A and B are shown apart, each in its own frame.
Chain A
C-alpha cells in the first residue's frame, strides 16, 4: 500500500498545562523507568486534544514528552486502529460492521449514512465535518446497530436516530441528542 507521506504532515502542536500535569501523574504511577507504558494513553490524549488525528509532528511531540524515540511512537500509533494517521473530519463516525451488528442491520445503517452524507466509507465530507469509518467489534453486540464517535457509543440506532444525531453534531449541540 502506498502512503502519501506529505498528507501526514501537520502543524507543530503542544499539550495544555493541565495535560502535561496529567502526563507527569501517569508517569509517576508507573514503576521507575517504565514510563513507556503510558504511550497509548498519551496518544489518546494527543488525538483528542491536538486536532483529532496524529500527524507526524504530533507523534514526534509525544515522543519528546515521553522521552522515547519517535520510531517507538510510530510503531505503536500504526498498530492500533483507534489512532487516525490521516486528517479526519471533526466527527469520526465509527460504525461497527462485525457479525452480531450485521445480524441486526449494520450494513443498512452504513449505507444510510453513506447516502445521507454523500460519502463512502473511509471518506470525509467536503465541509470536513464528518469522516465515516467502519470498525470491527466494539463490544456492544447486544445493543446494535451502533457507532462510536469521540469515545461515546450511540446504540440501538435506526436511520431516524442517525439523522437526529448527525443534525445535532452539525448544529454543535450534541448534548441535545436524545438516544
Chain B
C-alpha cells in the first residue's frame, strides 16, 4: 500500500484539536497500551526496531539517542521537545502542532515514560505564540482526563508537561543552545562533550527530540516498531513530513512514505503538482536552507542516472559533489526566473543574522560572506570574489562549536559548485545581470 499516513491522516477532521475527538479517532490508545503492558525499555526497544531517525534534520537514530541517556540514581532526567522550527523552508512541525496537538502530547507521554522523565518540556519558538496557546489548552485537557499529572491512569507513573517559548533565535534549534535558552539564558551553544544525554538541562541527563520524531513514537507503539520499519527503503524507514515551498504549484505540508521519487513529489497530483505558473524547474534545496542546492539536472536523477528518491540515502547520493540531504524536509523549489546569486546572498544574510557570535570563524565569516555576495549580486563584484567565498567557506566549516557554521558554509559552496557560470556572469555582464536573470544552468558535458 502506498501513501500511508501515520501522523497527519486525521489532521483535517473538524475538532481533532480537542481531547474527545482525538480520542474518538484512536488517540491515547498508545499511552493506554504502553502503561498497561509495556515497560519503559520495551518502548525504547520498539523505537529502536522502528529505525526512526531524528526528523529535525540530522537524521540520527532516535532509539540510539535514547539509549545514550545517563541514568544515575536520584538525579532527575528530562525530555525536551524541540519545537523551535526555524530552518528556512520548514513548516511541518507547526502544521502538526496547530492541527493535531494531542498527537505531540501523546508522543511526549510515551517518550517521557520510555526515558523515565517526570518533568518534560516543549520549547516552542516565540513566533508561534498562538500554537503555544493551542498546546497549553490541549495539555490542560490531558491533565483533566488523567493522562498527565500524578499516577497516570493508575499506572503509578507521574509526568508533568510544560511549554516554554523562545524569543526569536534560529540558533535555539541547536540542542545545547535550546537548553541554555530553556534555562533562561542567551542561546549560546555549549561545547560538547559533555553531551546533553549526560549533562543537559540544569546539568541533568536530557534528551532533546524534534516534534515530528516524538509524534512518530505514537504509531510506533500502536503498530509496533517492525511494522513502522516495513515502510520506506533501507535505513530510511517510516513516513516523513515534507514542507514544500518556493515556486511549486501547490505548496504545503505532505506526509510521504520515505522512498517516493523526487519526480513524483514535485510533479505528482497528490503532492506539489509541478512548478507554479507552468515554469521550468531551475534548482531545488530539498532539506531546508542549510543543505546543498541541486541544479535541475540533479534533482530527479542522481549523477549516475538513477531515479532520485525521497530518502536520506538517495538525496545524499553523490556526496556534496552531486548530492544533498533530506535534512528537516524543508523542500524549496526554484523556477527558471530565480537568481541563484541573489538567493545565496539571501541565505548568507540569514546565517549572518542568526550567528550567535560565540565563535569567531562563524561570527566574522558569515558577515564577510554576506558582504561579498551582496556586492556580487548588486553589480560590484570581482571575479576573485568567487574564489574568496570558497576560501572563507573552508575557514568556517568544522571550526565552530555548533553546526551553524557548516550550515552557513554548505549552501554557498554548493551554489558556487553548481552555478559558477551564473556567479561569473554577474561579474562579466553586470549590467545585464542587474536587469534580468541568468536562466537555467547548462548540464555539464560528461566525457
A residues apposed to B, CB below 8 Å:
29-31, 34, 36-41, 43-44, 68, 72, 75-76, 79-83, 97-100, 102-104, 135-144, 148, 151-153
Chain A, interface SS category:
mixed
| B386 sits at the interface (CB 8 A) | no
B54-62, B100-108, B162-170, B420-428: which lies at the interface: B162-170
Q: Is the CB of B168 within 8 A of A144?
A: no
CB B132 to nearest CB in A, in angstroms, measures 9
**Which residues of A have CB within 8 Å of B347?**
98-99
Q: Is the CB of A102 within 8 A of B343?
A: yes
**Which residues of B have CB within 8 Å of A37?**
164, 182-184
Contact with A along B215-253 (1 / 0, CB 8 A): 000000000000000000000000000011111000111
Q: Is the CB of A137 within 8 A of B245?
A: no
Interchain CA distance A136-B169 in the complex, whole Å? 9
Partner of B88, one of A34, A44, A98, A148: A98
| B89 sits at the interface (CB 8 A) | yes
Q: Is the CB of B184 within 8 A of A104?
A: no
Q: List 6 A-B contacts (CB under 8 A).
A: A44-B167, A98-B346, A103-B343, A136-B170, A137-B289, A153-B130
Interchain CA distance A110-B253 in the complex, whole Å? 26
CB B389 to nearest CB in A, in angstroms, measures 17
Known: A38-B184, A141-B330. A82 touches B167 (CB 8 A): yes
| B85 sits at the interface (CB 8 A) | yes
CB B278 to nearest CB in A, in angstroms, measures 16
Q: Is the CB of B127 within 8 A of A139?
A: yes
Known: A138-B127, A139-B90, A139-B128. A31 touches B167 (CB 8 A): no
Closest 9 CB pairs of A and B: A80-B167, A82-B168, A142-B251, A36-B184, A141-B245, A81-B168, A79-B186, A39-B184, A151-B129
CB A117 to nearest CB in B, in angstroms, measures 22
**Which residues of B have CB within 8 Å of A36?**
183-185
Closest to A102 in B: B346
Interchain CA distance A152-B128 in the complex, whole Å? 9
Interchain CA distance A43-B350 in the complex, whole Å? 24
Closest to A33 in B: B202
Q: Is the CB of B346 within 8 A of A99?
A: yes
**Which residues of A have CB within 8 Å of B244?**
142
Q: Is the CB of B167 within 8 A of A136?
A: no
Q: Is the CB of A103 within 8 A of B169?
A: no
| B336 sits at the interface (CB 8 A) | no
CB B171 to nearest CB in A, in angstroms, measures 9
Contact with A along B346-364 (1 / 0, CB 8 A): 1100100110100000000
| B437 sits at the interface (CB 8 A) | no
Interchain CA distance A82-B129 in the complex, whole Å? 11
**Which of chain B's residues 314-370 have a Cβ closer than 8 Å to chain A?**
330, 332, 334, 338, 342-343, 346-347, 350, 353-354, 356
**Which residues of A have CB within 8 Å of B251?**
141-143
| B70 sits at the interface (CB 8 A) | no
